[in-house]
């Protein structure tokens, strides 16, 4: 790692001020993406602003018809939260598929969403549930927040404080894990809320998380795995790497979507 200064603010306001006045400063949350990146010298922040001291960013609560999760809630917090398990069990189940127990004890939802890794799980839940990303400056809907691989609508120095997930009628996440890294080779989040249907796909698309509109249209007629029979995504804009080529990923999108719908219907 290159050398850096370290700051541990005690309030959100202080954190924002530190980010503002320190050139090339970066936020560190769980550090489970950032520290490995810094070890490889792929990131060179002048300073790390650690959000670890801000307990105000850790809460999980039900607010009206949404579950609002603080940016510093760890994957383990989300997985174990009674509020989440009751209102959006699919989200708690998704959190359990992330990494391993030790990773889940450190990694945070805010860090995962800010990072927008094309193989991470939370972007699929955000887009699939129609979440709103709340920052210290504004609210951004998921469609506008995720802007392609590792790219988001966040401005320099902007801090995610919460993510608000509207509660669905039915939802489920099906993930085909890369057995070594445990990231999603393909993950599909499906959701039904009244007449609204969403199918969000992660791991496959070459510009990160996206909605599979053909599947949404088919499910709008009838919300059943049968509606997706024979459907597979187009391999054109799919990732291709040593783990899976684009055709295999396209095939998996169809399989995972059917499994997710099946699980959602069974609730």
Ligand X SMILES: Cc1cc2nc3c(=O)[nH]c(=O)nc-3n(C[C@H](O)[C@H](O)[C@H](O)COP(=O)(O)OP(=O)(O)OC[C@H]3O[C@@H](n4cnc5c(N)ncnc54)[C@H](O)[C@@H]3O)c2cc1C
Q: Which residue from 29, 76, 126, 233 is in contact with ligand X, where contact means CB under 6 A?
A: 29
Residue 110 engages ligand X in binding (rule: CB under 6 A) = yes
Q: Which does 5 bind (CB under 5 to 8 A by kind): another protein, ligand X, none?
A: another protein
Q: How far is the CB of 145 from ligand X (least distance, A)?
A: 11
x/- letters, 173..212, toward ligand X (CB under 6 A): ---------xx-----------------------------
Q: Which does 27 bind (CB under 5 to 8 A by kind): ligand X, another protein, none?
A: ligand X
Q: Which residues of 139-162 are buried (b: 16+ CB within 10 A; e: fewer)?
A: ebebeebbeeeeebbbeebbbbbb
Residue 43 engages another protein in binding (rule: CB under 8 A) = no
Compute, in degrees rounded to 10, the torsion defined by CA atoms 94, 40, 31, 204: -20
Nearest CA to 114 out of 36, 34, 59 is that of: 34
Q: Which residue from 25, 27, 171, 228 is in contact with ligand X, where contact means CB under 6 A?
A: 27
- Ramachandran region of residue 104, left (φ > 0), alpha (ψ -120 to 50) or beta? alpha
Q: How far is the CB of 71 from ligand X (least distance, A)?
A: 4
Binding segment for ligand X (CB under 6 A), chosen from 102-110, 209-217, 229-237, 242-250, is 102-110
**Token pair recorded at residue 23:** 């050139």
Binding segment for another protein (CB under 8 A), chosen from 24-32, 130-138, 147-155, 162-170, is 24-32
CB of 71 closer than 8 Å to CB of 54: no
CB of 159 closer than 8 Å to CB of 136: yes
Residue 149 engages another protein in binding (rule: CB under 8 A) = no
Q: Which does 98 bind (CB under 5 to 8 A by kind): ligand X, another protein, none?
A: ligand X
Residue 106 engages another protein in binding (rule: CB under 8 A) = yes
Of 95 and 133, the one with the shorter C-beta distance to another protein is: 95
Residue 70 engages ligand X in binding (rule: CB under 6 A) = no
> Edge-to-edge, what's the strand order for the sheet holding 25-28?
5-7, 47-50, 25-28
Q: Which does 48 bind (CB under 5 to 8 A by kind): another protein, ligand X, none?
A: another protein
Residue 32 engages ligand X in binding (rule: CB under 6 A) = yes
- Which residues would be at the binding site for ligand X (CB under 6 A)? 26-34, 51, 71, 98-99, 103, 107-108, 110-112, 114-115, 117, 120-122, 154, 159-160, 182-183
- Which residues would be at the binding site for another protein (CB under 8 A)? 1, 3-6, 8, 28, 31-32, 35-36, 39, 48, 50, 52-53, 76, 99-103, 105-106, 182
């Amino acid at each position: 790692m290159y050398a850096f200064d370290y700051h541990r603010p005690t309030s959100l306001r202080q954190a924002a001020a530190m980010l503002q006045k320190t050139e090339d400063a970066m936020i560190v949350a769980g550090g489970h993406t950032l520290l490995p990146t810094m070890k490889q010298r792929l990131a060179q922040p002048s300073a790390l602003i650690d959000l670890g001291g801000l307990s105000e960013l850790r809460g999980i609560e039900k607010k009206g018809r949404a579950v609002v999760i603080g940016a510093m809630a760890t994957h383990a917090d989300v997985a174990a939260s009674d509020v989440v398990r009751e209102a959006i069990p699919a989200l708690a189940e998704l959190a359990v598929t992330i990494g391993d127990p030790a990773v889940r004890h450190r990694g945070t939802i805010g860090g995962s969403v800010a990072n927008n890794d094309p193989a991470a799980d939370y972007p699929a839940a955000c887009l699939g549930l129609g979440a709103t990303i709340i920052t210290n400056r504004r609210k951004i809907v998921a469609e506008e927040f995720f802007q392609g691989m590792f790219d988001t609508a966040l401005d320099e120095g902007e801090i995610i404080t919460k993510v608000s997930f509207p509660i669905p009628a039915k939802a489920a996440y099906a993930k085909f894990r890369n057995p070594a890294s445990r990231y999603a080779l393909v993950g599909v989040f499906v959701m039904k809320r009244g007449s609204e249907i969403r199918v969000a796909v992660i791991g496959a698309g070459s510009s990160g998380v996206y909605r599979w509109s053909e599947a949404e249209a088919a499910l709008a007629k009838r919300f059943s795995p049968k509606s997706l029979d024979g459907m597979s995504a187009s391999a054109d804009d799919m990732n291709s790497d040593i783990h899976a080529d684009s055709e295999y990923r396209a095939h998996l999108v169809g399989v995972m979507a059917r499994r997710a719908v099946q699980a959602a219907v069974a609730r």
